């Protein structure tokens, strides 16, 4: 049995589905079900006795303790987080509460549980904390990619809150001996992604005939990681990672945002052409850049390859095709996750402006 937190969100849900598709070990799935948590994503597991879903908050230490003591998991995998940079700029307190306070209370509950295990179960137990490359800050064009030894230089309330959570996890290993593992991943994309992030937003807006909002000049560079590859990397770290270590997980796919948008447009031109026959890239609209927008992220994933033998299975070209095909095949999922509140936020946030 493992306990997964945030398992109804994008990466967490993909992880739970992949985990149960590969093995029979049950999962207790704790999720607060905020706007980005979606039980419809887990519909394929509705009648699966190996999947135990619990609605709850990692900041509720009593609830977490009760689950730990009832189910006695051999590992905790923590995906629970507020993760959208733009929302952290307009509403930072939510990020402080979930990413810092929530992680602290989760760690406290796990520390107490771990202290009560016998020697054999202590030796086998792991706490895996899923984090982001954004904690490292921004890179210049000529700088080498982030390694696990890079200093933390977070530049947004989101990345600062994740950096704080990473430091707490590290401290609980060094102070209390908790056997922790931390992973810092690059930009994820793939099926079941809530349509506020770049790739799903472009797909959904393009199909709806809406503008495709691109920040600034669109030349912000990110490393892109297919979510299925991320899930396989986490499984590998949980299986063989060394307690106390950090593992960077990347896709070896550095690309500017505008190239990503053009790739999505080209695939849609091929797979579901516009009724008027015009290219989707005609819908691209440049909007005012967000405050403090980091220019470049890049992950050096050499350590996880060298120590654990993990490499991504997807290229960007294969992964983005699978992603677009999934959204085209699942319009009902998209429609149901887009509540009225979400649509209002998107409309107000991405007001089309002149290019910076």
Q: Which of 57, 86, 134, 196 is catalytic?
A: 134
Largest alpha-carbon pair distance within the chain? 68
> Alpha carbon 151 to chain centroid distance?
21
User: How many CA atoms lie less than 13 Å away from 275 in the CB half-sphere?
Assistant: 3
Provide the Cα torsion 58, 63, 67, 73; round to 10°.
Answer: 30
Q: Which of 31, 82, 86, 133 is catalytic?
A: 133
Q: In angstroms, rounded to a whole number, what is the distance separating the alpha carbons of residues 52 and 177? A: 29
Q: In angstroms, rounded to a whole number, what is the distance separating the alpha carbons of residues 39 and 293? A: 32
| Residue 317, both tokens | 């070209």
Asked whether 78 and 6 are in contact (CB, 8 A), the reply is yes
Residue 133 annotated among the catalytic residues of the structure: yes
Place of tokens 């009724």: 275
Output the DSSP codes for 244-311. T-EEEE--S-EEEHHHHHHHHHHHHHHHS--TT---GGGGEEEEPPPTT---B--B--HHHHHHH---
Neighbours of 354 (CB within 10 A): 8
Is the CA virtual torsion 35, 41, 45, 46 positive or negative?
Answer: positive
Residue 18 annotated among the catalytic residues of the structure: no
Residue 134 annotated among the catalytic residues of the structure: yes
Q: Which of 136, 158, 189, 280 is catalytic?
A: 158
Smallest CA-to-CA distance from 84 within 101, 105, 70, 98 is with 98
Known catalytic residues? 133-134, 158
């Amino acid at each position: 049995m493992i306990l997964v937190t945030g398992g109804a969100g994008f990466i967490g849900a993909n992880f739970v589905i992949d985990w149960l598709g590969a093995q029979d070990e049950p999962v207790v799935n704790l999720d607060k079900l905020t706007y980005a948590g979606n039980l419809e994503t887990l519909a394929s597991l509705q009648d699966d006795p190996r999947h135990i879903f619990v609605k709850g908050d990692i900041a509720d230490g009593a609830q977490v303790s009760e689950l730990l003591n009832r189910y006695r998991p051999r590992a905790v995998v923590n995906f629970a987080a507020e993760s959208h940079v733009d929302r952290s700029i307009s509403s930072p307190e939510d990020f402080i509460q979930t990413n810092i306070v929530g992680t602290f209370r989760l760690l406290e509950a796990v520390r107490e549980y771990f202290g009560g295990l016998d020697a054999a179960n202590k030796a086998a137990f792991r706490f895996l904390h899923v984090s982001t490359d954004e904690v490292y800050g921004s890179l210049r064009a000529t700088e080498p990619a982030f390694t696990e030894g890079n200093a933390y230089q977070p530049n947004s309330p989101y990345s600062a809150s994740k950096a704080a959570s990473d430091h707490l996890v590290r401290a609980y290993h060094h102070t209390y001996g908790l056997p922790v593992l931390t992973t810092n991943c690059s930009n994820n994309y793939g099926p079941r992604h809530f349509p506020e992030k770049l790739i799903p937003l472009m797909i959904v807006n393009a199909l709806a005939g809406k503008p495709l909002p691109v920040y600034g000049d669109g030349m912000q560079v990110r490393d892109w990681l297919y979510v299925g590859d991320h899930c396989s990397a986490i499984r590998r770290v949980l299986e063989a990672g060394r307690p106390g270590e950090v593992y960077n997980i990347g896709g070896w796919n550095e690309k500017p945002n505008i190239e990503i948008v053009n790739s999505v447009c080209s695939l849609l031109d091929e797979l579901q052409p516009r009724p008027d026959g015009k290219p989707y890239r005609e819908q691209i609209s440049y909007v005012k850049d967000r405050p403090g927008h980091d220019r470049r992220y890049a992950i050096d994933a050499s350590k996880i390859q060298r120590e654990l033998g993990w490499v991504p299975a997807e290229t960007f070209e294969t992964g983005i095709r699978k992603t677009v095909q999934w959204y085209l095949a699942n319009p009902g999922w998209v429609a149901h996750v887009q509540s009225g509140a979400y649509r209002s936020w998107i409309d107000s946030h991405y007001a089309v402006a002149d290019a910076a």
